Amino acid sequence: MKFVSTRGQAPALGFSDAVATGLAPDGGLFLPETLPDLSTEWSKWGALSYPALCFEFMRRFATDIPADVLRVIVDKSYTTFDHPDIAPLVQLDEQTYVLELFHGPTLAFKDFALQLLGNLYEHQCAVRGQSINVLGATSGDTGSAAIHGLLGKPGTAIFILYPEARTSPLQERQMACTGADNVFALAVNGSFDDAQAALKELFADQAFRTKHRLSAVNSINLARVLAQCVYYLYAFLRLPESTRTETEFVVPTGNFGNVLAGWLLQKMGVPIRSFKVATNQNDILYRLFTTGDYRVSKVEPSLAPSMDIQVSSNFERFLYLSLKRDAAKVREVMQTFKQTGGYTFKNFDKDTFSASRCTDAEIPAIIKDVYARYGYVADPHTACAFVDLAKDRPSVVLATASPAKFPETIVRSIGVEPTHPRLEALKQRPIVNHRLAATPEAIANFVAQHAV
Ligand SMILES: *Cc1c(COP(=O)(O)O)cnc(C)c1O
């Protein structure tokens, strides 16, 4: 299987190279050259465990990794989860289900992809006999999930920049209390955007990048999207057969990676009825799916911070496939969008996508209502998905984070403090971080000293 760029001006690559490359050299994102047709196969997979299903799915894409090796990589990636079902589907009432995606090491859904990606990187280091240094900036969940994907892995080091005193204390602890000596939590003196800008400059220095075999952590890696397809399928197989093909998946959304994965699975022939894109008050995607207008506005920090985005990076993959793989048209749209900050789309599939939005004023009220109605505690991101659930069909709400990660909002909403043993354990450990100026020079110096 080969992978092509959404901008159509980069060579097609095999799975391992596309994963190692991240962003395609023409600025596009990788997608499979053709999507496999699973329509006659998926229904045979109902008895498979989560890792077995993941292997069955991934082996259609990772064709350059021997099957027995891939199986070990996949199995290992889900041993770090603390629920036997990995992604349990919880029924709240006849029409409403929650797919809990927060039983991984950092208690958010990003672990599904980043545990696997960490093991793929480790495999690649071993095959190539080369070390790898992973670098990224985070405002929250991605950084800690990436760190826990590479924690203690030989031949790797990971450097994560975060704005000092601007992530939540628990998020900082998840990055800075691991005790692993290949993990560097870098508290930069500046905002997330400053850190991001400094990193971008560093990555533009081709010589430095090559010398230290740098790789970027971000939300656009091909392996992340593919790994996320699996839990949609796992949930789909657990829905009652009589209503399965009528069920809507409701997805708390920021960068569009999560909902894109579900849609790809539908395109591979798994008959998912529809998706609802649930945003917080940063509602660019809500506006797109309700009016057709895709237009940047200012990001307002919210109670669901992992969905505070301005431009949705994975949207380009959606665009490419919606435009029937017309890469020239994608380039034109992206160019217009870059120049004018907006674009109007007419032709996405309205029968498949709908959208909802949720303001900060509504989030605590929804958490309270869901708790009163079902005795269920939803985190602030998951709460956004409980707005306007469909009346005419069952819903599966994707729960993207554990409520224990956001104790302030939960206490404020329902007066109960959620806890989790993994987070309690972190509070006992010392914070080990490094303070840096948000400049490319300071970061380059630090990386040069600690790279493997
Ligand atoms: C990252 C994240 C999201 C948004 O996911 P996207 O793939 O960017 O749409 C939602 N909720 C939580 C808790 C997250 O960490």
pLDDT digits (tens, 9 = 90+) for 227-252: 999 999 999 999 999 999 999 999 99
Kindly report the protein residue whose alpha carbon is nearest to atom 1 of ligand 1.
306
Beta pairing class for 89-93 and 156-163: unpaired
Q: What percent of the chain has pLDDT over 70?
A: 100
Kindly report the protein residue whose alpha carbon is nearest to atom 14 of ligand 1.
306
Active-site residue set:
110
Per-residue pLDDT tens over the stretch 26-56:
989 999 999 999 999 999 999 999 999 999 9
pLDDT at 177 over 80: yes
CA distances from 209 to 37, 106, 137, 159, 423 (A): 38, 28, 16, 14, 35
Q: How far apart are CA 163 and CA 299, in angstroms?
A: 16
Compute the Cα dihedral for 81, 87, 88, 91 and give only its sign. Answer: positive
Q: How far apart are CA 114 and CA 129, in angstroms?
A: 22
Q: Report CA(452)–ligand 1 centroid distance (Å).
A: 30
pLDDT score of 203: 85
Side chain identity at residue 438, one-letter code: A
Instruction: Kindly state the helix (H) or strand (E) to which residue 184 belongs, with its residue range.
Output: strand 183-189
Q: Ligand 1, residues 139, 175, 192, 307: which to mutate, most atoms within 8 A of Cβ?
A: 307
Determine contact, residues 109/142, Cβ cutoff 8 Å: no
- Which residues have CB under 8 Å from 117's CB, separation 6+? 19, 146, 149, 221, 223, 224, 227
Kindly report the protein residue whose alpha carbon is nearest to atom 2 of ligand 1.
306
Q: What percent of the chain has pLDDT over 90?
A: 81
Q: How far apart are CA 262 and CA 153, in angstroms?
A: 30
Per-residue pLDDT tens over the stretch 180-210:
999 999 999 888 778 888 888 888 888 998 8
Q: Report CA(401)–ligand 1 centroid distance (Å).
A: 8
pLDDT at 6 over 90: yes
Compute the Cα dihedral for 236, 240, 245, 246 and give only its sign. Answer: negative
pLDDT score of 12: 97
**Ligand 1 neighbours by CB, cut-off 6 Å:** 108, 110, 141, 219, 252-258, 306-307, 381, 400-401
Q: Report CA(304)–ligand 1 centroid distance (Å).
A: 9
**Count of beta carbons in the 10 Å neighbourhood of residue 84:** 9
Domains of the chain: 89-105+223-420 (3.40.50.1100)
Stretch among 269-273, 313-317, 388-392, 403-407 having the lowest mean pLDDT: 313-317
Q: Exposed, middle or buried: residue 50 (CB in 10 Å: 0-12, 13-18, 19+)?
A: buried
Strand order in the sheet with 156-163: 214-216, 132-137, 156-163, 183-189, 434-437
Instruction: Kindly state the helix (H) or strand (E) to which residue 257 belongs, with its residue range.
Output: helix 257-267
**Average confidence score pLDDT of the chain:** 94
Q: Exposed, middle or buried: residue 374 (CB in 10 Å: 0-12, 13-18, 19+)?
A: middle
Q: How far apart are CA 236 and CA 45, in angstroms?
A: 11
Beta pairing class for 293-295 and 274-279: unpaired
Confidence of residue 296 (pLDDT cuts 50, 70, 90): confident
Q: What is the average pLDDT across 404-427?
A: 95
Q: Report CA(310)–ligand 1 centroid distance (Å).
A: 13
Q: Ligand 1, residues 98, 106, 141, 259: which to mutate, most atoms within 8 A of Cβ?
A: 141
Q: What is the average pLDDT across 120-140?
A: 90
> Which tokens sit at 145?
């999930």
Ligand 1 atom nearest the C-alpha of 228 is 7
Kindly report the protein residue whose alpha carbon is nearest to atom 11 of ligand 1.
400
Q: Ligand 1, residues 106, 289, 306: which to mutate, most atoms within 8 A of Cβ?
A: 306
